[in-house]
Amino acid sequence: MSTATAHAHTDDHHHHEESFISKYVFSMDHKMISKQFLITGIIMGVIGMAMSIAFRLQLAYPDTSFPILEWLFGSKWAPDGHLDAGYYMALVTMHGTIMVFYVLTAGLSGTFANLLLPLQVGARDMASPFMNMLSYWLFLLSSVVLLSSLFVETGPASGGWTIYPPLSALPKAMAGSGMGMTLWLVAIVIFIASSLLGGINYVSTVLNMRTKGMSMTRLPLTVWALMLTAVLGILSFPVLLGGGLLLLFDRGFGTSFYLSDIYLGSAGALEHTGGSPVLFQHLFWFLGHPEVYIIIMPALGITSEIIAVNSRKPIFGYTAMVISLLGIAFLSFIVWGHHMFITGMNPLLGAVFLVTTLIIAVPSAVKTFNYLATLWRGNIRFTNAMMFAIGLVSFFISGGLTGIFLGNAALDIQLHDTYFVVGHFHIVMGCAAIFGMIAGIYHWFPKMFGRMMNKPLGYIHFWLTFISAYLVFFPMHFMGLAGVPRRYYAFTLLPEYNVWADVNVLMTLAAILGGIAQIVFLYNFFSSIFIGKKATQNPWEANTLEWTTPVERIHGNWPGEIPTVYRWAYDYSNPAHEADFMPQNIPDEHSAEELFEKNTSVDPARKDSPVKETVDFFTLLRNWYKPRTV
Amino acid sequence: MIFQTNNRLKGLFLFLGLFIIQYSFAFENNLKRPINGQDGSVERIEEGSKLFNANCASCHALNNKVVGPALAGVVDKYSEDYTWLLSWIKNNQKLVKSGDERANKIYAEYNGAAMNIFENLSDDQITSVLMWIDNGGDGGTIAVDASVTQEIAPVSDGLFSKINWIVVVMCLLVFAVILMILGILELVSNITGREVINWNNINAYMMLVFLVGFFGLVIYEYSIHNQFNLANFESASEHGIEMDRMMRWTWIATLPVFFVTQFLLFFFSFKYRQKPNHKAYFLSHNNNLEYVWTLIPAIVLAVLVSGGFKMWNKVLRSDPDGKTQQIEVFAYQFGWNARYPGADGELGKANFNLINGVNPLGVANREHAVELIKELEADILSMDTALMRLPKELAVLKSGLGGLVDDERKDQLNKIKAYTSGDKKADLELLIRARHTQIDRLKKALAAEGGMFDGKGDDDQVVGEIHLVKDKPVRLRFRARDVIHSAYLPYFRTQMNVVPGLPTEFTFTPIKSTREMQAIKGDPEFDYYLVCNKICGNAHFNMKMKVVVEDQASYDKWMAEQAALFVKKPETPSLPTSVSDSTSTIETVALN
């Protein structure tokens, strides 16, 4: 890291002295902010995962005493090493909240949008570095507020991460709905502010600050994905903010937005009338569903980039990939009702959401097939990042297909809120997104820290994580098909479900194995920052602009002028060039200017394509069996 | 947990062996002493067991805390003051409000989460429950669990029954050795200048190995765990049969895609691994191919959508004429009740303002409402007194601070804080205001003449389990008391959220009696259950109600045993006056 400061002096434009505080703490440099997001995200991820292992222990061994739980949570929440039923709910709630918002939204988008947007579009920094810094500090503040709720007397929020009122609105309905819930709401309000500041920044950076020659059609897919993610966040997070504020009013000021006709055992008939608990669900899922895509789209963008680089092939169907992203982004706003099929809403409304939900499967399917086509006849390098990207595609297929069951309103009557749902979303958005994030970390680690991560350790990490993830979440589908409800602390009064005792043990052991694999990763990550092998400027031989910056990460990104872009980001193994990659900033040998002018009007992807438009599908299919060498 | 044994498999197998012996002594009388001056008998304990399972088991266990405290030893603890215990069980809220110190202490300890009111139980019935508790529970629950162990057997291989810490330590050691070997290899490759291990090839082959292992897992899982798939037991409801068919078609549409795409993913990864001096095939796009794989999923999904669309409308709009038999299902923290319409075949109106210990569902009845107003007024009076007592209580607490140290002092200070911060006062004032509002509403409704109090609810029967007649359609109307619950009937492929303030409903036809399902499942102990499937609080996992499907004769017999809620009174002439919105919830149609 010391070399970075040394290099900063050679830069004419940015030669001010930086103190420790302005460089590492209140930094306005997008690369440092991305590292802050990443490390905060990793810490939150470790906490979230530890929570999941704690409640998985309860599910697998409901009658065994684990002194470690008492040591961790205290004798109030885990007396004699048995997790308390209410605290089990609290852990489930906090696990969901942390993973969805703090790891996979802020940790993933925050890290990679900050790192990649300016570097890949060719900008010296974000559109508003100060807002960017504010975004991180609000995120950190929000994390601290959320974690502080763990130490409240009545415990953290425990009504599920979806915090449906009236349960979350009435402190007398559940201990966790007291102070813990207030802190949860405050944390989310701060989080939304952070997310909006970041999102506006990302969008304006991409739209306004692209370098010369970087047309929208030449943007790497990571940039497309991250930008559309930011758009989704900007449009949907304010709705949750509104919903959350109304809930705060119901809790604190006696309003009745979500409350009606309630008799509580401890308080008798309440005054509230006229509200609708289902209104909150509509507001929540209007964010909640785009949120799923806020989580998965950056991961898909990262995967597109990594698969293309490491297959040494252009991403198959760039235009189709962009259109799919746009389609997913649009459709994600009109499918939220599929989380609420059985809330008693009008059957007509349910039918509409059924149709839109299954339509969104089409662009997702296109993306999957395009990934497969990109791998086909490639020259695949199994870097750590590539392995995780392949893992993501596998999860995306498995989880996507089970989504077809749940999106069908009629089948959802039976499967709603069973373990089938848990298995589905953990695979398609939990595992897939976290694999995208980890792939990104392995891929851009040299860009972040100027060093390489240990490859063999990365392989161990991948295989253990991949196998354990499938072992944890795959059997859940069968539990769901057998009608086992989720969020059950134990099967005390439902001994029929005790047939799953062994499966629960298997899943818990697999989860512990997955946890151990993450220790390998953490060791690899933190040790490589200091003792990893020194990275070269373009270790993966990639085309995008971030690899044209010096290894030392300087303020302003490029020491001289910002490079001009002459081609799209995916010119890998182009027969027109000798090398199997051609960075975006290298002018063509003939006439740089002329080509640049020409390429802006012609689809650059089309220019060198050896496959003629007239080749029909069946010829192509036949060619699969007769590989040609180019 | 009702019985405290080591619930690991070994323990269960042991019980399986001793099952018959245990069962014969299930209700052996171990009572140490008479309770409330009454001697325990086998009949009393048996009665207590039934009552406990119906009323208490969702929140209490004998030996560990669920929502409420563990109950073993409760008789010893309160042997001096048995009447207090009885009144606590019957109506803990009354005690709390009367300023009873012990009651308030328990209340505070459980963060103000009150126990449900059991005024419907007599002193003798409660004593029976306590006898059962004092007797150390029963073998009844063991019998249930033992029947389950038989089903566990085929899945169990005993391998995962507990964490073997030795194995864990050995794994760590192996990992350390691997790390060392990797370090050495890296040193060697640094010295010689070329990679010792071709990681690329290793991982390419690993992809193949994983592919085989993954498909192996899928097939193993399918063969082992799919035996519990509900679709294997024919649906117990009419629409469920069609739903199972749709499920099958969805499997047929998705499974081939799963196998083909996963195969291609890992096979391509293996086949096209990096080879020296090889260049990838430059292929940026192919429109025809992309059209094809956009159109095919679109067509398949369109078929599934149209099927689901039809099915969905059929299931949710299956009662157009509204002549189906209606049963109200009522959810509360943490249990269920059902209400049958009684002789007049019509469910009376109900309202949350009418709920109390004797009328847990708030069914409309004029006399009850008048009675309730009196009760509420008394309640307000007692709370007013409590309000006035506050300064005095604070003074007592403060004066008691003197001799206390450490934790005791801290507790005392916490208590004082509740007074000085005004929380206690605000809480009471809020409750008093709510009672006044409630009384206003009740008075308004009473004055409205007719409307809610049409006497149709007087013959309604409130019961703790649902009985249904085979092959007869039934319309369940759901109502929640406090928070959102969800009524899940897996064997009937039926689920609907139960939302306070928003009545919902679901119509279906049961086509398999409990007996028939017992035969299909090969389990004579099997029963249908309605369980809660929306997180609703700490004892969410214990919320269930038995559902019995039987023939008309047994249904009629059971029905005849159920008492009407209120004794039939001559009806007041009903006038076409409408009551305010808040008092007619049951008639609201679920549209949002």
Residue-by-residue DSSP string for A542-571: --SGGGGS-SS--TTS-SSSPPPP-S-TT-
The proportion of chain B whose per-residue pLDDT surpasses 70, expressed as a percent, equals: 83
Answer yes or no: is pLDDT of A253 > 80: yes
Across A48-61, average pLDDT: 93
pLDDT tens-digit series, residues B190-202 = 788 777 778 889 9
Tell me, what's the pLDDT at A10? 44
Q: Does A342 touch chain B (CB under 8 A)?
A: yes
> Would you say residue A419 lies in a domain?
yes
Q: Is the pLDDT of residue A180 over 60?
A: yes
Q: Is B457 exposed, middle or buried (0-12, 13-18, 19+ CB in 10 A)?
A: buried
Chain B positions in Cβ-Cβ contact with residue A354 (cut-off 8 Å):
305, 308-309, 312
| CATH tag for B325-349+455-587 (out of 3.30.70.260, 3.40.50.150, 2.60.40.420, 3.40.710.10) | 2.60.40.420
Average pLDDT value for residue range A257-266: 90
Put simply, the answer to whether B282 touches A85 (Cβ < 8 Å) is no
Distances (CA, A) of A426 to A390, A421, A470, B583: 17, 8, 10, 43
Residue B212 in contact with partner chain A when CB distance is under 8 A: no
In a domain, A617, yes or no: no
Average pLDDT over residues A389-399: 96
What does the buried/exposed string (b/e) look like for A36-66 if buried means 16 or more CB atoms within 10 Å of the residue's CB?
bbbebbbbbbbbbbebbebbbbbbbbbebeb
Q: What is the mean pLDDT of residues B198-216?
A: 92
Under an 8 A CB cutoff, do B226 and A260 touch? no
Specify the CATH number of the domain B27-138: 1.10.760.10
Ranges A47-51, A266-270, A607-611, B339-343, most confident: A47-51
- B501 and A260 within 8 Å at the Cβ level: the answer is yes
* Contact indicator for B451, B445 with CB cutoff of 8 Å: yes
Q: 3-class SS at B109?
A: helix
Residue B407, burial from CB neighbour count under 10 angstroms (0-12, 13-18, 19+): exposed
Quote the tokens at residue B494.
Answer: 């039926």
Burial class of A612 by CB neighbour count within 10 A (0 to 12, 13 to 18, 19+): exposed
The token pair at B277 is 């001096």
Mean residue pLDDT of chain B comes to 80
Q: Using the beta-carbon criterion (under 8 Å), do B284 and A314 form an inter-chain contact? A: yes
The whole-number pLDDT of residue A617 equals 53
**What is the model's pLDDT at position B582?**
41
Residue-number span of the structural domain to which A473 is assigned:
28-531
B441 pLDDT above the threshold of 60: yes
**pLDDT average, residue stretch B540-559:** 93
Element housing B545 (H / E) = strand B544-550
Tracing tokens 């919105």 back to the chain, one arrives at: B581
From chain B, the residues in CB contact with A610 under 8 A are 282-283
* CA terminus-to-terminus distance, chain B: 40
Q: What is the rounded CA–CA span in Å between residue B536 and residue B484?
A: 6
Residues 422-451 of A with CB under 8 A from B: none
Least confident of A197-201, A489-493, B116-120, B131-135: B116-120
Average pLDDT over residues A386-390: 96
pLDDT above 90 for B172: no
Q: How far is CA B464 from CA B63, B467, B540, in A?
A: 25, 10, 17
Residue of A nearest to B223 (CA): A478
Please name the residue of chain A whose CA is at the shortest distance from the CA of residue B314: A410
Chain A residues in contact with B265 (beta carbon < 8 A): 371-372, 375, 390, 393-394, 397
Does residue A548 register a pLDDT over 80?
yes
Q: What angle do CA B540, A264, A181 make, to 5 degrees?
A: 65
Residue B382 forms contact with A (CB below 8 Å): no
Give the best residue of B206, B215, B282 to mutate against chain A (max A CB count within 10 A). B282
User: Quick check: B556 pLDDT over 90?
Assistant: yes
Q: Which residue has the tokens 């794989």?
A: B293
Helices A30-60 and A85-97 sit at what angle, rounded to 10 degrees? 150
State both tokens at A514.
């997955």
In contact, B282 and A575? CB cutoff 8 Å: yes
Distance from CA of B38 to the nearest CA of A (A): 30
Stretch (H or E) spanning A304:
helix A277-311
With CB atoms and an 8 Å threshold, state whether A375 touches B268. Answer: yes
Task: Please check whether residue A194 lies inside any domain of the structure.
Answer: yes
| Cβ(A131)–Cβ(A461) below 8 Å | no
The yes-or-no verdict on residue B496 having pLDDT over 70 is yes
Q: How far is B423 from chain A (nearest CA, A)?
A: 13
pLDDT at A618: 55
Is the alpha carbon torsion for A372, A374, A379, A380 positive or negative? negative
- Residue B497 burial (CB < 10 Å; 0-12/13-18/19+)? buried
Residue B489: pLDDT band (50, 70, 90) is very high
How far does A354 lie from chain B, in Å, by closest CA?
7
Instruction: Show the beta-strand stretches assigned E in A181-272.
Output: 263-264, 268-269
pLDDT, one tens digit per residue, over A99-116 is: 999 999 999 999 999 999
Determine the distance from the C-alpha atom of residue A448 to the mean position of all C-alpha atoms in its chain, rounded to a whole number: 19
CA pair distance A41, A386, nearest whole angstrom:
22
Residue B307 burial (CB count, 10 A):
18
Asked if A424 and A402 touch (Cβ cutoff 8 Å), the reply is: yes
- Rounding to the nearest 10 degrees, give the CA dihedral for residues B454, B459, B460, B466: -160
How far CA B38 is from CA of A298, A341, B43, in Å, comes to 71, 54, 13
Evaluate whether A232 touches A332 at the Cβ level (below 8 Å). yes
pLDDT at A327 over 80: yes
CB within 8 Å of chain A, chain B residues 60-119: 61, 64-67, 93, 110-117
Chain B interface test: which of A492, A497, A522, A618 (most B C-beta within 10 Å): A492
Closest-CA residue of chain B to A81: B64
Q: What is the structure's pLDDT at A596?
A: 46
- Cross-chain residue pair B217–A350, CB shorter than 8 Å: no
Q: What is the mean pLDDT of residues B533-553?
A: 92
pLDDT at A619: 58
Interface of B with A in 512-571 (CB under 8 A): 526, 529, 531-542, 544
Interface of A with B in 197-226 (CB under 8 A): none
Residue-level pLDDT at A234: 95
User: What's residue A485's pLDDT?
Assistant: 93
| pLDDT of amino acid B283 | 87
Q: Which of A361, A490, A616 sits opposite B288 (nearest CB)?
A: A616
* E strand or H helix at B487: strand B485-489
Q: What is the mean pLDDT of residues A439-461?
A: 94
Residue type, B110: Y
pLDDT recorded at residue B96: 75
Number of domains in chain A: 1
pLDDT at B63: 73
Which of these ranges, A70-79, B295-304, B530-539, B551-560, has the smallest mean pLDDT?
A: A70-79
Residue A547 domain-assigned (yes or no): no
0.90 cut: is pTM over it? no
The mean pLDDT of A445-455, rounded to a whole number, is: 93
Please tell me the distance in Å from A578's CA to the nearest CA on chain B.
10
B286 confidence band (pLDDT: 50, 70, 90): confident
Here the tokens at position B457 are: 């609810």
Name the packing angle between helices B287-316 and A347-359 (round to 10°).
160
Query: Of A259-263, A421-425, B99-103, B554-558, where does mean pLDDT reach its minimum?
Result: B99-103
pLDDT in tens, B383-410: 888 888 888 888 888 887 777 777 778 8
Q: Which residues of B touch A314 (CB under 8 A)?
A: 282-284
Q: Tell me the CATH number at A315.
A: 1.20.210.10
> Averaged over A313-340, what is the pLDDT?
93
- Contact between chains at B152 and A502 (C-beta distance less than 8 A): yes
Cβ-Cβ contacts under 8 Å, A481 against chain B: 226, 228-231
- Interface membership of A623 toward B (CB under 8 Å): no
Cβ of B268 within 8 Å of Cβ of A376? The answer is: yes
Residue A172 domain-assigned (yes or no): yes
ipTM for the complex shown: 0.89
The 10 Å Cβ neighbour count of residue A95 is 21
Position B112 scores a pLDDT of: 61
Q: Quick check: B93 and A266 CB within 8 A?
A: yes
Contacts of A575 in chain B (CB under 8 A): 279, 282
Contact state of A375 with B438 under an 8 Å Cβ cutoff? no
- The pLDDT, as a whole number, for residue B317 is 80
Residues of B in contact with A410 (CB under 8 A): 243, 246, 307-308, 311-312, 315
Is A526 among the domain residues? Answer: yes
Instruction: Walk across the sheet containing B335-340 and list its strands.
Output: B461-463, B335-340, B325-332, B474-480, B504-508
**Cα B118 to Cα B134: distance, rounded to the nearest angstrom:** 20
pLDDT one-digit tens code per residue, A283-316 = 999 999 999 999 999 999 999 999 999 999 999 9
pLDDT digits over B29-51, tens only? Answer: 555 566 767 777 777 888 888 88
Provide mean pLDDT across the span B441-465: 86
pLDDT of residue A371: 95
Q: How many CB atoms lie within 10 A of CB A498?
A: 21
Residue A456 lies in a domain: yes
d(CA A277, CA B136): 42
Task: Report how far residue B555's alpha carbon sits from residue B539's, in angstroms, rounded to the nearest whole number.
Answer: 31
Report the pLDDT value the prediction gives residue A620, as an integer from 0 to 100. 54
SS3 B497: strand
Shortest distance, CA A403 to any CA of chain B (angstroms): 10
Partners of residue B67 in chain A, C-beta under 8 Å: 85-86
How is A421-480 classified by DSSP, letter by letter?
A: HHHHHIIIIIIHHHHHHHHHHHHHHHHHHSBPPPHHHHHHHHHHHHHHHHHHHHHHHHHH
Compare all CA atoms of chain A with the CA of B113 and give the residue at the minimum distance. A172
pLDDT tens digit sequence for A574-599: 888 888 888 988 887 654 444 444 44
In eight-state DSSP terms, residue B402 is T
How many other CB atoms are found less than 10 A from the CB of residue A622?
9
Nearest in space to A419 (alpha carbons), one of B215, B228, B506, B66: B228
pLDDT of B17 higher than 50: no
Q: Say how many CB pairs under 8 Å bridge A and B.
A: 491
DSSP state of A211: P
Q: What per-residue confidence (pLDDT) applies to A616?
A: 53
Q: Strands of B485-489's sheet, edge to edge?
A: B466-469, B544-550, B528-532, B485-489, B494-498
Q: Is residue A107 in some structural domain? A: yes
Closest-CA distance of chain A to residue B76, Å: 22
A506 and B160: CB-CB below 8 Å? yes
Residue pair B12/B145 in contact by the 8 Å Cβ criterion: yes
Tell if the CB–CB gap between B312 and A351 is shorter than 8 Å: yes
Contacts 24+ apart (CB under 8 A), A330-333: A331/A356, A331/A359, A331/A360, A331/A363, A332/A232, A332/A289, A332/A290, A332/A292, A332/A293, A332/A360, A333/A232, A333/A235, A333/A236, A333/A286, A333/A289, A333/A290
